[in-house]
Amino acid sequence: MVMVMDVVQLRTPIGSFRCHIDDGVVREGRFVDGGRARRDDEDVASALDDYFAGAVDAIDAIRVEADGTTFQHRVWDALRRIPVGETVSYVDIARELGIPGASRAVGAANASNPIALIVPCHRVVRADGSLGGYGGGLERKRWLLTHERVGRGVFLRNCC
């Protein structure tokens, strides 16, 4: 049986973003090079449009589900609990999960997140506050963090 997924692809201030959606649930999301705009799922597309227009909480209600291990799901769930406009470290997430020595495993699960932006792996930074890595590139990560802080009315000083 072939599964047919809806696709939302839109142009954003930091490049094209594409989501694969099954029955209203985002299964994958990432920044992509090229492609044409599509809006097969208007609810997800509208939430993403609103996010990029400054309503930075708009993506919180998007339903997600991705394939992964139990541990990866625990980390990805923790990512969704990071408040918009804030950052945490891998160590913080490991402590929240009750396994303080697992910051490297948290980092690996974060790096394997298949739903960028909506599962906000960009809100995770190194323990020293530096940006660390981001699959979409550090300029996108910096832009997203700045956008979210501005959208929350947070005064920016030496941000990102």
Identify any residues that bridge with 19 across adjacent strands, giving them in sequence order.
Answer: 8, 29
Residue 141 backbone phi and psi in degrees, to 5: -60, -50
Report the catalytic residues.
121
SS3 label, residue 67: coil
Residue 124 phi, psi (nearest 5): -100, 130
Task: List phi, psi (to 5°) of 3.
Answer: -90, 130
Nearest to 84 by CA among 19, 30, 155, 144: 144
* Burial status of residue 122 (CB atoms within 10 A of its CB: 0-12, 13-18, 19 or more): buried
State the Cα–Cα distance between residues 24 and 142, nearest whole angstrom: 29
